């Protein structure tokens, strides 16, 4: 599979061969949803806490007599139906963490990356040398690439100039290729990767997706194919005898 390479000025700079088991993985919607839900759940602190009626101070005495007052029966001013009372079934500290196997996370990431490639939202650059570290240099590069929506820039290593230049652009996020994940890929419209980042992606995650053989070849046993061929030969011989 070949992908087009551009330079920072937006002009074509050649082509590159990429692995199909990284950039041509079928879209797995259910897997992507499960992994992203797990990412978002793992980011929750889980520290929300409210006091129950046993934890709110006061309320040790019955506020009024049981009978003959003409008002409702009450045993404590800290009842959940009273203002200032405890909270019934309120939140307590808990862990929202969901365990997701490593292979599932990687396969979901490759599925989203391949989907961006099929949609034409993946841009490959020969280099990302922003030496002056100025925001206007990054803005000029994005304008030359016709990137008008949110974008994720993936580098093959630390790029201080690019980080400084894109720090004030809210719609741009920069990640080293080692930290690439499905959540950031889904959240951004454009994915910009360097050629070095592509090669590192192939080295780290190539082979995670096993390309399945043709369904016909997979489901039909070899013996049945041989029997079918023999049957065809026999049928042809019978036709010749009938015509004679």
Same domain, 139 and 192: yes
Non-local CB neighbours of 101 within 8 Å, separated by 6+ positions: none
Contact 195, 124 (CB under 8 A): yes
Residue 89 lies in a domain: no
Residues 122 and 230 in one domain: no
228: left (phi over 0), alpha (psi -120 to 50) or beta: alpha
- Tell me, rounded to whole angstroms, the distance of Cα 172 from its chain centroid: 17
Domain assignment of residue 164, yes or no:
yes
Indicate whether 185 and 242 sit together in one domain.
Answer: no
- The mean pLDDT value of the chain amounts to 88
Q: What CATH number does the domain containing 32 carry? A: 3.40.1370.10
**Residue 51: which pLDDT band, with cuts at 50, 70 and 90?**
very high
- Would you state the torsion angle of the CA atoms of residues 232, 235, 239, 242, taken in this order, to the nearest 10 degrees? 170
- In percent, how much of the chain has pLDDT > 90? 72
CB atoms within 10 A of CB 50: 13
Q: CB neighbours (10 Å) of residue 28?
A: 19
Q: Mean of the pLDDT values across residues 39-43?
A: 96
Per-residue confidence at 216, pLDDT binned at 50, 70, 90? very low
The answer to whether the CB of 95 falls within 8 A of the CB of 41 is no
pLDDT of amino acid 137 = 92
Domain limits for position 161? 2-44+99-205
The reported pTM is 0.76
Q: Is residue 71 part of a domain?
A: no
Lookup: tokens for 13: 């700079």
Rounded Cα distance between 100 and 106, Å, is: 10
Judged against a pLDDT cut of 80, whether residue 105 lies above it is answered with yes
Q: In the prediction, which pLDDT does 211 show? A: 72
Let me know: does 113 contact 154? Beta carbons within 8 Å: no
């Amino acid at each position: 599979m070949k992908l087009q390479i551009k330079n920072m000025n937006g002009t074509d700079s050649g082509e590159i061969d990429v692995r199909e088991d990284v950039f041509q993985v079928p879209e797995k919607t259910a897997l992507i949803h499960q992994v992203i839900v797990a990412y978002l759940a793992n980011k929750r602190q889980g520290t929300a806490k409210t006091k129950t009626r046993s934890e709110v101070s006061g309320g040790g005495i019955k506020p009024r007599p049981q009978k003959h007052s003409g008002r409702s029966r009450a045993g404590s001013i800290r009842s959940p139906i009273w203002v200032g009372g405890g909270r019934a079934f309120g939140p307590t500290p808990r862990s929202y963490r969901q365990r997701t196997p490593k292979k599932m996370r990687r396969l979901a990431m490759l599925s989203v990356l391949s989907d961006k490639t099929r949609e034409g939202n993946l841009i490959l650059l020969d280099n990302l040398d922003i030496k002056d570290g100025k925001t206007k240099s990054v803005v000029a590069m994005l304008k030359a690439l016709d990137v008008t929506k949110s974008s994720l820039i993936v580098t093959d290593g630390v790029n201080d100039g690019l980080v400084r230049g894109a720090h004030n652009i809210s719609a741009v996020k920069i990640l080293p290729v080692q930290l690439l994940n499905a959540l950031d890929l889904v959240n951004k419209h454009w994915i910009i990767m360097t050629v070095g980042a592509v090669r590192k992606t192939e080295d780290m995650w190539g082979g995670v997706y096993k390309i399945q053989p043709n369904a016909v070849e997979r489901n039909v046993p070899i013996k049945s194919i041989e029997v079918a061929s023999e049957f065809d030969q026999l049928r042809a011989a019978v036709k010749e005898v009938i015509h004679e």
